[in-house]
Structure 1
């Protein structure tokens, strides 16, 4: 590698690397980018070479410091976790950065950008799985503690109502007790729902989405638009159809309620290849995205959005997304979100092939 001749055979090996590699001059001018860099940055080689390194990203002091330090000391400089925001798409990239001077005479350095996004997704999924397991036990125990005395409360209210037959003006109070007990019973049933046995079979995801779309448009026929963006070539899922309907319906209803019934929702299906879900590698998976143009998820609940009883609405129960997460995890999948004002996207990943032995998740027996 001579530094100035980019056609030198010494560069041929860089073309084969999966790691994005750039070669820059000390003034930041780009002189080489391998195909992995083109993929990471979303630009072709010709376009990349028209820019300086700092032009590719929004101003980042750590990046400039890394380049300056490597050239000043003629030694490698490493940043283990650096967030770079591309100037073209404004999308953040989490990378491990290394800058290595390769030619002192030509003042050139080799830059490696190793993406950390996949590692971060795996770490976040592990964290969510542990959180889900803790939530499941908490909900189950709490629901039983609530459920046990409810029967006694309702029974006592009925007996009291019988004793008050000659005092009809007091029946109003016993009726309130019974109705509130029923409301609590309904809430408990919803909390216990993920632990009940589910029935699996072949499911067309687009039938699920069309069902949810019909329900939503029937409830909000005026100012709601639900667009379809389907990959109709997707294979069948092996899943519980009713649970998948509930997953999508809970997410869609949250979006509609956040938009106060006026806005746009996009239902998008794609195939994902070579994906790790619930610690297992799958050749093919469903990538279902539910996108809305609402106000976004409040910052103060983002970190614990899937926790039970967490809601951004005064009238909400905070169980919709908790149940959606539980059902998705029972199917060996994952659920995550990205939100900003004007666009919120929930992404549900589900494996297309699932062993019969895993059809009923551990702990999913009837209560």
Structure 2
């Protein structure tokens, strides 16, 4: 077998090292012995929120700091290999939880290659695991709905023969049965293995429809701001599923800011250039350049709960059932997308980011 240095079988169409680095899904940064940034790829520009011109020549720790003191010490005192998982970095835009690796270059003492991969985009959950974990409750839910229908029917018959306060009790029974059925329906959605076929969809039409639904359902004085990139191409998505995702996320953001009148929810769209985000589906990488961000200026989710908010039956609301965000995750993953959560302590904002594939890969 020919060694990598053997050019006898060289293919002129083969991507060169620069193209390979540019195509990486994770951020790559080359630093010199003084930890000055010498080279970055497109994914690094996206993650750090700055272009290469603004990054080159800057100190790495000034760009991503402050970071864990132990990691900073290791970076500053030696050039040994390092792997640091789930550490926080700060960028121009937000705080991010990332995995970091440091690879020293033996041929160039002091020089190192740094990689950053964001925790959450490729680890927000596995639909097979989710479906498996929800499968048994889904089967049980199906069996529960039959007696509930009988209870509801009996309550309706009783209501016709009762008077006064007794009628209210019968109505309460039917209302509670309806509430339980809605809860069961959502559980069954989580356990479903079938997915809807995606097709080209205008993301802004879906967003505006979702915002209209949220506003109609609640008259609270919460400002919802639209910051759209009008040049975005269509996404590949199921329109109904995408609207449901957006309704859930926008409703949660509205509830998070409360009725004080100072609450603000922002829905932003943008094109994330390069290959910064990807989800692995069926053994292939799926480009996710279309980003929809729902942010609010509420107090945010408790720190101890942030890593579990997409799990079933986890909720920060007193009356929450913990199924809304689990359903959001399933629907987004069914569309080959990615959803993540972050808290920007600097700006006092909570953000949910949805990344979706675009319909026409040649449009950018």
**Is 1:332 aligned with 2:333?**
no
The reply to whether residue 96 of structure 1 matches residue 101 of structure 2 is yes
CA 1:49–1:326: 2 relative to 1, 3 Å: closer
In the other structure, the counterpart of 1:210 is 208
Shift of 1:248: 0.4
Q: CA deviation at 1:340?
A: 4.3
Displacement of 1:173 after TM fit?
3.9
Aligned to 2:32: 23
Matched, 1:290 2:294: yes
RMSD: 3.8
Structure 1 pair 322–227 and aligned structure 2 pair: CA distance change class (3 A): same
SS in 2 for 1:146: helix
Q: State the structure with bigger RCO (CA 8 A, min sep 6), 1 or 2.
A: 2
Counterpart in 2 of 1:253?
251
- Structure 1 residue 208 displacement after superposition: 1.2
- 2:25 aligns with none
Q: CA deviation at 1:250?
A: 0.8
Pick closer, same or farther for the CA change 1:111–1:89 going to 2, 3 Å.
farther
1:265 corresponds to 2:265: yes
| Length, aligned pairs only | 321
More helix as a share of residues: 1
The answer to whether structure 1 residue 350 and structure 2 residue 348 are counterparts is no
1:281 aligns with 2:285: yes
For the 8 Å contact 2:207–2:243, the answer to whether it is kept is yes
> 2:123 corresponds to which residue?
124
Q: Paired residue for 1:58, among 66, 87, 93?
A: 66
Task: Give, in whole Å, the separation in 2 of the partners of 1:226 and 1:143.
Answer: 36
* Bigger radius of gyration among the two: 1
Is contact 1:252–1:290 with CA below 8 Å preserved after alignment?
Answer: yes
In structure 2, the partner of 1:181 is 177
CA distance in 2, matches of 1:43, 1:197: 38
Secondary structure, aligned partner of 1:34: strand
2:321 to 292, 317, 321: 317
Q: Distance in 2 between matches of 1:324 and 1:90?
A: 23
Structure 2: distance between partners of 1:54 and 1:61:
13
TM-score by length of 2: 0.72
Q: 1:306·1:325 contact (CA, 8 Å) conserved in 2?
A: yes
Given that residues 310 and 318 in structure 1 are in contact (C-alpha distance below 8 angstroms), is that contact kept between their aligned partners in structure 2? yes
Question: Within 1, Cα distance between the matches of 2:128 and 2:238?
Answer: 23
Q: Describe the SS at the equivalent of 1:180.
A: helix
The gaps in structure 1 that reach 5 residues or longer are 1-12, 71-75, 355-367
CA positional deviation for 1:33? 3.7
Measure, in 1, the Cα distance between the counterparts of 2:149 and 2:220: 42
Say whether the 8 Å CA contact 1:234–1:271 is kept in structure 2: yes
Q: For 1:37-81, what per-residue CA distance to the aligned partner results, in whole angstroms no more than 9, with x for missing partners?
A: 884764867986575x6655336233324543x4xxxxx621122
Shift of 1:295: 1.0
Deviation of 1:343 after TM superposition, in Å, equals 0.9
Aligned to 1:115: 116
Query: In the alignment, what sits opposite 1:80?
Result: 83
Alpha-carbon spacing, 1:240–1:315, altered in 2? closer, same or farther (3 Å): same
What CA distance in whole angstroms lies between the structure 2 residues aligned with 1:170 and 1:54? 70
> In the aligned structure 2, how far is the partner of 1:278 from the partner of 1:215?
32
- Do 2:94 and 2:344's aligned partners in 1 also have CA atoms closer than 8 Å? no
Contact 1:100 1:110 in 2 (8 A): yes
SS in 1 for 2:311: coil
Q: 1:150 to 1:232 in 2, by over 3 A?
A: same
SS of the aligned residue for 2:340 comes to: strand
